[in-house]
Amino acid sequence: MPAEALARVVARTPLGRDTTTAEVAEWVAALGSGIADAVSGASIEIDGGSGLVAAAAREE
């Protein structure tokens, strides 16, 4: 994605920044550990809240 397009996406993200690879890796590690044994069939979005913004835009 071009830097200018990424900057526009990030500006609309509630966290105001891009998700890091470390944040994604932490979720992958947690889901693969015993801490997530009760998690089943879940869809976990690691997107800084941008999914919420997209959903709100579709409703408008």
User: Where exactly are the structural domains of the chain?
Assistant: 3-59
pLDDT of residue 56: 63
Q: Report the pLDDT value the prediction gives residue 60, as an integer from 0 to 100.
A: 65
pLDDT along the chain (60 residues), means of 10: 87 89 94 90 88 69
Q: What is the pTM of this model?
A: 0.66
pLDDT at 1: 80
Token representation of residue 35? 């801490």
Q: What's residue 10's pLDDT?
A: 85
